[in-house]
Amino acid sequence: MQATHLGLIGYGEVGGIFCAGLGPQVDGVRAWDVKLADPAAAAPLRERAGQDGVTLCASSAELCAASTLLVSAVTASNTVAVAREAAAHLLPGTVFLDLNSASPGAKREAAGLIEAAGGHYVEAGVMTSVPPYGIRVPMLLGGPHAESLARRLASFGMDAKAVSAELGVASAIKMCRSVMIKGLEALVIESYTAARAYGVEEHVLPTLQETFPSIDWTEQGRYFYSRVVQHGRRRAEEMREVANTVREAGFEPWMAAATAEKQDWVAGLAAQGLFDGVQPSDGWQGYADRLIAHAKA
């Protein structure tokens, strides 16, 4: 069986989960992250790498030179830049799996760079949050090499399905879904916060429950607020790529663009500490009350 030397570009939440989960399945795991250049930001990464048995590389070039399977797990806006950097250093025949939430156009541009350098590019649409699924998070793969990689990843215990040999299809599925999922997050935050400001949430939520009885709107609301507060910047970047996806299809992305703005706004307030101390037991109301107080300040 072909040896797999795994290299993760981006050692954040997703990269860390994949490194830890795939370590026992492959023939070595390495990672590189731009944060490693900052001693303060690098400290927790080095601690986690030591616990998970991951070798951290000093540069993208060092990582690429030692990897036969590269996985890109960075912020959406860096999708093409990371592919360009990797293309300058990767070994011929290296498989490049792009997990990033980027538009079909961005994925095709990244693929062109990797393929021109002798690599084998595969796009992935990660169809839900990686936690709590870990490496078994459902993924749709696309591109000429998707089928063979799907079989390889399945042998590692991953849930990867090839959906098309055409690049852009898997990312289009992912991004069109995000119009709904991330848009719903933004709508819930706007609706619930305004309802609480008017003191009418006890009338609004029951009507949602009646219309969509399969959803626990109280708990779903808490979850949506918490995810945006924790990951709003990343979600906003994804939604800008979603907007590009809609634009590439020939339509004006009014909803996707507005969702990105909402996500970014909440993330900015979170960075300022507005939601510090909010506990799960506070429910969605804990987050809404902070937004209401902020608006009145």
- How far is Cα of residue 185 from the mean position of the Cα atoms in its chain? 15
123 with 96: CB under 8 angstroms? no
Query: Do 132 and 200 belong to one domain?
Result: no
**Residue 285, domain extent:** 171-296
CB atoms inside a 10 Å sphere around CB 256: 26
Number of domains in the chain: 2
Type of residue numbered 171: S
**How many residues make up the chain in this entry?**
297
Query: Do 11 and 97 belong to one domain?
Result: yes
Query: Do 192 and 266 belong to one domain?
Result: yes
Measure the CA–CA gap between 289 and 128, rounded to whole angstroms. Answer: 28
Query: Do 140 and 272 belong to one domain?
Result: no
177 lies in a domain? yes
Query: Do 135 and 32 belong to one domain?
Result: yes
Q: How far is CA 52 from CA 55, 58, 76, 134, in A?
A: 9, 18, 26, 14
Query: Do 273 and 205 belong to one domain?
Result: yes
17 lies in a domain? yes
Question: Of 150, 166, 182, which one is at a domain's C-terminal end?
Answer: 166
288 lies in a domain? yes
- Give the closest residue to 110 by CA, choosing from 63, 138, 142: 142
Query: Do 223 and 279 belong to one domain?
Result: yes
Question: Of 166, 181, 207, which one is at a domain's C-terminal end?
Answer: 166
pLDDT value at position 1?
A: 55
pLDDT value at position 213?
A: 97
Query: Do 76 and 201 belong to one domain?
Result: no
Low-confidence ranges of the chain (pLDDT < 50): none
Query: Do 135 and 187 belong to one domain?
Result: no
pLDDT, one tens digit per residue, over 254-266 is 999 999 999 999 9
Question: Of 142, 166, 190, which one is at a domain's C-terminal end?
Answer: 166
Measure the CA–CA gap between 88 and 62, rounded to whole angstroms. Answer: 11
